Amino acid sequence: MDKIEGRNPVMEALRAGREIDKILIAKGTRGGSLIKILGKAKDKGIPVQYVERQKINEMSISNAHQGIIAVVAAHEYVHFEDIIEGAKNRGKTPLILILDKITDPHNLGSIIRTADAVGADGVIIPKRHSVGLTAVVAKSSAGAIEYVPVAKVSNIVQTIERIKERGIWVAGAHADAEKEHYNTDLKGPLALVIGSEGKGISRLIKEKCDFLVKIPMVGEISSLNASVAAAVLLYEVFRQRASIDG
């Protein structure tokens, strides 16, 4: 199940600490219980979106939604520190993916699938302006969602700072980079930042990266699909590290 419908079920899910990606509320919905739900959601940093009632009706399975639906994660999230510790405990060089505002669930699922294929330690996504671990993401990952830890954080910029404090280099994928990905040393502890499908990585995140890498393109289209870009970069890391191990 990836939806919780109705005021009481949503409130109980909030009280129980259930992982909730976002709460959808039909425009015009009111009431004291709604105020309490909004307060809880704000305390937990859960995004709330007001949508047309027709959308809520179309999403509803129970037909008893009372104007509110919570979209819940198809899999539990981890803390981003757990991803780093997991790599350390396995005695391997960390490889982490940081995704900046990936909104297409198929892209996120594909990225998680590739992350599993190359042995990445985990994926970090923002709480806002990003798709979460929905049922579509789970399906698109072909089961990899069960093996690749995913952390959801409130602030990507602050998270990058803390990752750098742990001795991990942060590389951003950006067309303005001076070096191509295959001409850059990616063998050390690394966090790769992949930007959104349309806008790439944001200015603040770009500035926090230790260095940038670009994927050369000679066609008429100026950018790659986010999941394709992630796959190209991840496999370059895989190739470089394999040359050391081999």
First-to-last C-alpha distance (Å) of the chain: 44
> Which H or E run contains 136?
helix 135-140
Total-model pTM:
0.82
Same topology, domains 3-72 and 80-245? Answer is no
Pick the CATH number of 80-245 from 3.40.1280.10, 3.30.230.10, 1.20.120.790, 3.60.15.10: 3.40.1280.10
pLDDT band at 176 (very low <50, low <70, confident <90, very high): confident
Residues 6+ apart with CB under 8 A from 108: 99, 102, 125, 131, 137, 140, 141, 227
Average pLDDT over residues 119-147: 91
Pick the CATH number of 3-72 from 3.40.50.970, 1.20.120.420, 3.30.1330.30, 3.10.20.30: 3.30.1330.30
User: What is the pLDDT, as a whole number, of residue 245?
Assistant: 62
**Domain map of the chain by residue range?**
3-72, 80-245
Is a pLDDT exceeding 60 seen at residue 12? Answer: yes
What mean pLDDT is reported for the chain?
Answer: 91
Nearest to 72 by CA among 144, 141, 152: 152
Question: CA quadruple 130, 132, 136, 138: dihedral positive or negative?
Answer: positive
31-89: pLDDT as tens digits: 888 999 999 999 988 999 999 999 999 998 888 899 999 998 888 899 999 999 998 88
Is a pLDDT exceeding 50 seen at residue 128? Answer: yes
What pairing do the DSSP bridges indicate for beta strands 150-153 and 122-126? Answer: parallel
Unique residue bearing structure tokens 């190739």: 239
